[in-house]
Amino acid sequence: MAKGILGRKVGMTQIYTESGEVIPVTVVQAGPCHVLQVRTLERDGYEAVQLGYDDKPRRLAIRSERGHVAPLSSKRARKLAAAGAEAAPKAGCEPKKFVRELRGSIEGAEVGQEIGIGVLAETARVDVIGTSRGRGYAGVMKRHNFAGQRATHGVKKVHRHTGGTGCSAYPSRTFKGLRMSGQYGNAKVTSRNLKVIKVDEENGVILLNGAVPGPNGGYVIVRETNMVR
């Protein structure tokens, strides 16, 4: 099965090696996760394992979320059962707040299986996927590190403006990808090839060398990297 787990970023700290070297690390609280679905090549066109993390109270979960993890009685379900249709297996756990799929081999994966942080015990380096901290609508100086215009005579109240964008009579349009003001942050970010410093199975945490995208408390995906160093 593809090596990976879901978790939550706790924060950053530092640890010391036996030789006295300081290593900055990010603490990630990961697992336990439940296998909610197993995607197969014959049925879905690709292979993946769907994991769920962090229980959601049933009173706050909508019907589709409850039905995703446990069988629900309904007219449609009874009609399909009477017709002889086999119901999809359910994990039989609580609804989850964070659900993601990990593509790769599905060998050994079963619906309802519980996965802990120990799945990464023998992994040397990982990729971490998270959502970067959202900073709202920002100008070009904050968003793209523009220098701004000169703060001298002749520049009147446009010191932080973008300036010319190059769309004159030809080509009479703005090219795609031009750096302008807009939404800053709140985007999917992947930190590649982070070194695993320690896997603490007793407390369910993993220490990663370096920074991880997103704010403290944000959900992240930790998976074995495919980069060769």
Instruction: Give the rounded distance of the alpha carbon of 132 from its chain centre.
Output: 10
Largest CA distance in the chain: 83
- List the chain residues with pLDDT less than 50: none
How does strand 125-131 pair with strand 114-115? unpaired
Q: Which amino acid would we find at residue 11?
A: G
Match 């998976």 to its residue by tokens.
Answer: 223
Q: Which two tokens stand for residue 115?
A: 């996965």
Tokens of 44: 């879905």
- pLDDT value of position 79: 85
SS3 68: helix
pLDDT tens for residues 191-210? 999 999 999 999 999 999 99
Distance of CA 115 to the CA centre of its chain: 17
Residues paired with residue 145 on neighbouring β-strands, in sequence order: none
What number of residues does the chain have? 229
Q: In whole angstroms, how far apart are CA 72 and each of 34, 35, 58, 91, 150?
A: 19, 19, 13, 13, 66
- The single-letter DSSP state of residue 85 is P
**pLDDT of amino acid 168:** 82
DSSP code of 120?
G
Q: How far apart are CA 160 and CA 173, in angstroms?
A: 23
* Residue 114, amino acid: E
How confident is the model over 33-76, as pLDDT tens digits? 999 999 999 988 999 999 999 999 989 999 888 988 888 888 88
- Rounded Cα–Cα distance for residues 166 and 175 (Å): 9
Q: What is the DSSP letter of 118?
A: G
3-class secondary-structure state, position 224: strand
**Domains parsed from the chain with CATH numbers:** 1-31+126-134+187-229 (2.40.30.10), 32-115 (3.30.160.810), 137-184 (no CATH)
Confidence (pLDDT) at 229: 60
